[in-house]
Amino acid sequence: MHSGRDGWRYHDHQRDKEDEHEEYYHMIETIVVPPTPYPTGFLWWFRNGDSWHAPEINNGVPYLPDIHVPLIRDLLWFCRNPIGNFMGFVVGFEGRGYVVKGPAPVMLTTPYDAIPPQYGWKLSVINGWAPFVAYSGKRILWYLGWRPASGGFGFKLNFHL
């Protein structure tokens, strides 16, 4: 609240928006992620998570809803992520606890995952040395590095036409 020259009190909404913007983009967040179970065995490296089967829901949307044959869905899921557990548990930090540091909200994979979706850059570091960088634009979305939410190493490149 501010007092005007005429004695009336008013609220500066523009200043509030600037403060929110500044807080969102400049706050550094540190999250400690607890360890997850660490399965073993050579074939386990080729699985994706806890199952050989494709999920019904992936990233909040149905995974291949038009394909009703489970074996085909599973094969396509395997081709999409052929060494998911290897990249997560052997190369990445899954199965171990880790600390993620970066601009808030640090646990998002890309700015486009925010609600509402954002455009721009996202940077974070796991355990002080494992980098992650992502970019979301109107025509392209990509990331490279150790993902903050899972600790797994990965890369992605999507074009939006």
Total domains, the chain = 1
Task: Establish if 19 belongs to a structural domain.
Answer: no
Task: Establish if 105 belongs to a structural domain.
Answer: yes
Task: Establish if 14 belongs to a structural domain.
Answer: no
Asked if the model's pLDDT at residue 6 lies above 60, the reply is no
Task: Establish if 134 belongs to a structural domain.
Answer: yes
CA–CA gap between residue 135 and residue 122 (Å, rounded) = 6
Task: Establish if 133 belongs to a structural domain.
Answer: yes
Domain that holds residue 104: 28-159
Q: Which pLDDT score, from 0 to 100, does residue 38 have?
A: 65
Task: Establish if 8 belongs to a structural domain.
Answer: no
pLDDT in tens, 29-78: 888 888 876 666 777 777 777 777 888 887 677 888 899 999 999 899 88
Task: Report the DSSP beta bridge partners of residue 126.
Answer: 100, 130
CA–CA gap between residue 140 and residue 92 (Å, rounded) = 25
Task: Establish if 5 belongs to a structural domain.
Answer: no
Q: Which pLDDT score, from 0 to 100, does residue 39 have?
A: 64
Task: Establish if 154 belongs to a structural domain.
Answer: yes
Which residue's entry shows tokens 């040395």?
129
CA distances from 51 to 46, 74, 88, 91, 152 (A): 10, 10, 14, 19, 17
Q: Which pLDDT score, from 0 to 100, does residue 135 have?
A: 96
pTM (2 d.p.): 0.71
pLDDT in tens, 15-29: 444 444 444 456 888
pLDDT in tens, 99-122: 999 998 999 999 988 889 899 999
Asked if the model's pLDDT at residue 130 lies above 90, the reply is yes
Q: Which pLDDT score, from 0 to 100, does residue 44 have?
A: 77
CA distances from 157 to 78, 137, 142, 151 (A): 18, 12, 4, 19
CA 28 from chain center: how many Å? Answer: 16
